[in-house]
Amino acid sequence: MAEVQEWDVIVVGAGPGGSMAAREAAKAGLDVLMIEKRQEIGAPVRCGEGIAKVWLDEVGIAKDPGWISHEVKGARIVAPDGKSVDLTEAQAGNETGYVVHRDRFDRTLAEQAVRAGAKTLLKCAATAVLKDGKGAVVGVRAKHWDTELELRAPLVVAADGYESQVGRWAGIDTKLAPRDINTCLQYELVGIDIDPDFNEFHLGMQAPGGYIWIFNKSDDSANVGIGVNLSMISGRAAVKGYLDKFIARHPNLAKGQNVETVAGAVSVCFPIESTTADGIVLVGDAGRMVDPITGGGVVNAVKSGMVAGKVAKECHDASDFSRAFLQRYEKGWRELCEEQLIRNYVAKEKLITLSDDIFNKVIDALQGYRIERVTTMEILRMVQARYPEVVKELESLL
Amino acid sequence: MTITVDHTRCMHCGACVGTCPMNALTLDETVVWVNDDCVHCGVCVTTCPVGALDDAEG
């Protein structure tokens, strides 16, 4: 017999989205249980660990040397032929600024949730959703060590990341086409030669439909990783092959030693139609909210998690956990995140079709210009001056 | 045909789980399971960054 527990909210997954939902709901006075299938929050890391600085204050996350590994001045975009252009943080906007220790970052956010009153269970994996007679989600079934649990709650926050199984068990469609998936591998290399002030993004067919990143963790170490579009590869271990080849081609990296291997996948899709059903909301990666250009998921996970936690309180007060009522969540996260997701999805659809020749010409055209503020229009204007034929190729980005 | 998991290569990252269109794979902390809903489409094999999955004859 399963042990039955009653809660106001069950949060599945203790990543940034889950912890922020738990924090906000607990702060509002709800009884919140956050479950995590791993034995420790934040590990193993599945992230390139580059994040922007500017949004942290808005969401109540104090900058803390405990989870900041390194600070950079900007991003260096590198063409297949090796030419590059530098973007400062203010210009690039996204995914630059800090390179973090994601395990410590996630732990800090979970601590915030706990201090707000949330309870946690680790080594506790959701195995199914509980539904009432009308099909509404009313909790999850879970396994904690060797104990079967029936965790009942009128609202489940599914923050189970890319795997996104809880929402699918509830009947929400989070299925992805291969074209909307980038699969990733990363090594943390120590003892390498890098420019500590710039995180690098290497474009082109060395990472088909994605990019290779070098995100600096210190003056002589970095996360060197790759994301590849699933529609553009075949066979086993293709991703590892691309990354190993890239490192072998770069002696400044090849001399380093690997101290951590990280694998994973991200969605690079158009925002999904629905992230709610009766009694359940999806947050962050589970709701397919990853930026289709950068592959970054933390910011939208935090923002959607906070909306979910606040809406949980509104549901509780109204005693209404229906999908109709949960449109407040749907509307809330989309107002914060959707415009950029759509814009970057359109850009990604174009970018994965571009040849190395085009990337080389675009970066070449930007040589010697001082870029004040990166806008698509400005880049196109510069490219047009040098390679008018390339601009035709890029027109759809307008 | 059957999907096999090479546990010496598996990184327990969950890339295959989120990719599977049938929701037929589950990652139980450190073990990946394939259930009967698998239709052997093979997308998990390509997704796995380190080649831990294979679509074996049998």
In this predicted model, what pLDDT tens digit does every residue of A58-85 receive, in sequence order? 899 999 999 999 999 999 999 999 999 9
Task: Tell me the residue type at A135.
Answer: G
**Going from the N-terminus, what domains does chain A have, and what CATH number goes with each?**
3-46+103-176+270-348 (3.50.50.60), 68-97+178-267 (3.30.9.10), 352-397 (no CATH)
**ipTM greater than 0.90, yes or no?**
yes
pLDDT value at A95 more than 60: no
- Put simply, the answer to whether B49 touches A125 (Cβ < 8 Å) is no
Angle between helices A16-27 and A298-318 (to 10 degrees): 30
In chain A, residues with a C-beta closer than 8 Å to the C-beta of B19 are 176, 181, 183, 230, 265
| B51 closest CB neighbour out of A230, A240, A265 | A240
H/E element, A166: helix A165-169
Convert the pLDDT of each residue in A268-311 to its tens digit: 999 999 999 999 999 999 999 999 999 999 999 999 999 999 99
Contact map slice: B 23-42 vs A, CB within 8 A: 23, 26-29
- Put simply, the answer to whether B14 touches A162 (Cβ < 8 Å) is yes
Task: Tell me the residue type at B30.
Answer: T
What's the CA gap between B36 and A56, in Å, rounded?
Answer: 44
B49/A contact by beta carbon, under 8 A: yes
Write down the pLDDT at residue A392: 78
* Smallest CA–CA distance from B45 into chain A, residue: A236
Write down the pLDDT at residue A120: 98
In chain A, residues with a C-beta closer than 8 Å to the C-beta of B42 are none
Closest by CA to A206, choosing from A236, A241, A235, A161, is: A241
| A230 closest CB neighbour out of B23, B29, B46 | B46
CA of B26 vs chain A CAs: smallest distance (Å): 8
> What mean pLDDT do residues B6-26 have?
95
Comparing A43 with B57, the larger pLDDT belongs to A43
Residue A42, CB half-sphere, CA atoms under 13 Å: how many?
Answer: 14
- Put simply, the answer to whether A265 touches B13 (Cβ < 8 Å) is yes
CA of B20 vs chain A CAs: smallest distance (Å): 8
